[in-house]
Amino acid sequence: MQDVWTHHTVLLNEAVDALSVQPDGHYIDATFGRGGHSRLILSRLGPTGGLTAFDKDPQAIASAQALGDARLSWRHEGFAHLADLPPASADGLLMDLGVSSPQIDDPQRGFSFRHDGPLDMRMDPTRGQSVAQWLETADIPTLAEVIREYGEERFAQPIAKAINRRRQERGFVRTTAELAEIVAGAVKTREPGKDPATRTFQAFRIFINAELEELQQALEASLHVLRPGGRLVVISFHSLEDRIVKQFMAQHAREVVDRRVPFAAPAALKLKLLGRTMPSAQEVQANPRARSAVMRVAQRTQVPA
């Protein structure tokens, strides 16, 4: 079944250009989505090149299979499994951390407060616990912590109490519209142009999919899988992700001196920073969902251990 929702790939040319694709190279698209970046990478590969795609979403994997390209292999799993690949086997690795438009716009996936649907939010709806199921048992301190830490929401405590009050008075929260209504009633001031439920929905999505933990694992795995000279390209869409990426790249782009052995040579750099890119004004105008995107690029500098 074909998607009826349109997906606009963010920083399409900029990201693939940053990979510096060689015709006979092997590349990894760690978040295939609907394949925008992958299609462009494949167009730049020769017959001996290769591309490995990861995604949790069964619909994304179906899109990868539909390409019918023998140079493309796919894995129905999250990019934390990058570590399962052979060491120094990739010439470039791309991570686009955004939720795809078909996921957001499909009410049945439960990602959006703009469309009423089941309160799910799982990247892979065949595995794990939905947000609705988690909300059945999460206590107020846990709810507040998740909303505060992953949503950076200053009204985390009132929202948590409002969810708990709703459970006691009217039963469990089952739909996106119900959750959005609860949050709207608990948030006293709103940021201009932003729905009051934005931060809470972000928080629950990140939590239920363990997104930040998986990102940390994938970044560490990038040092294992990239060949010397291989490029790491990461597109983030909110400050929590971008902070992790920025700190990881900076950490491995610094020489490390062992203070216990002051005359020893510092540990070799693992990454070289190649810069940061933001979407152009034209791209943001054409696709408002691109406005928060930040792309960071680094290059592997030594053989993985």
Write down all domains in the chain, each with its CATH number in brackets. 12-102+211-300 (3.40.50.150), 124-208 (1.10.150.170)
Instruction: Give the orientation angle of helix 176-186 with respect to helix 156-170, to 10 degrees.
Output: 130
Round to whole Å and give the CA distance between 218 and 223: 9
SS3 (DSSP) at 279: coil
pLDDT value, residue 235: 97
Residue spans of alpha helices (H) in 119-238: 131-135, 140-151, 156-170, 176-186, 198-208, 211-225
CB 44 within 8 A of CB 23: yes
| The pLDDT value given to residue 270 | 93
The three-state secondary structure class of 52 is strand
Residues of the chain with pLDDT under 50: 1-5, 304-305
pLDDT for res 56: 93
Q: Report yes or no on whether pTM surpasses 0.85.
A: yes
Q: What is the pLDDT of residue 224?
A: 95
DSSP β-ladder status, 226-236 and 90-96 = parallel
The pLDDT tens digits for 89-116 are: 999 999 999 887 778 878 889 888 888 9
pLDDT for 268 = 67
pLDDT of 303 reads 52
Share of the chain above pLDDT 70, in %: 92
DSSP letter (8 states) at residue 115:
S
pLDDT at residue number 7? 62
Q: What is the pLDDT of residues 20-41, one digit of tens each?
A: 999 999 999 999 998 999 999 9
